[in-house]
Structure 1
Amino acid sequence: MIHPSLVKKQRFLMLGFLVLIVMTAVISLSIGYASLSFDRLFPTILGEGTFKEEFVLFSIRLPRILITLLAGMALAVSGAILQGITRNDLADPGIIGINSGAGVAIAVFFLYFPIDAGSFIYLLPVVAFVGALLIACLIFLFSYSKRVGFQPVKLILVGVGFSMAMSGTMVILISSSEREKVDFISKWLAGSIWGTDWPFILALLPWLIILIPFTLLKAHQLNLLSLHEETAMGVGVSIGKERFMLLLTAVALAAAAVSVTGGIAFIGLMAPHIAKALVGRRHQLYLPIAILLGGWLLLLADTIGRNLADPEGIAAGIMTALIGAPYFIYLLLKLK
Structure 2
Amino acid sequence: MRTSSELKTELAKSMPGSLSQRLRFDVEQTLKSLYADESLADRIDDLFLPFSNWVSERSRPNVGPLILGMSGAQGCGKTTFCTVVSHILKKGFDLNAVVLSLDDLYLTRSDRMKYSQETHDLFSVRGVPGTHDVELADTIIQRLKELKDGEVMFLPVFDKSMDDRKPVHRWTQVEGPVDVVFFEGWCVGLGEMPRKTLQEPINELEATRDGDGEWRRLVNDHLKHGYRALFEHIDILLWMRAPNYEVVYEWRNKQERTLEDHLYDIHGGILDTLDIKVMSSDELKEFMQHYERLTRFMLSSMSGRADVVFTLNSAQKVIHWEVPIEH
Report the TM-score when normalising by structure 1.
0.28
Higher relative contact order (CA 8 A, sep 6+): 1
Task: Name whichever structure is richer in strand by fraction.
Answer: 2
Task: Name whichever structure is richer in helix by fraction.
Answer: 1
Report the TM-score when normalising by structure 2.
0.28
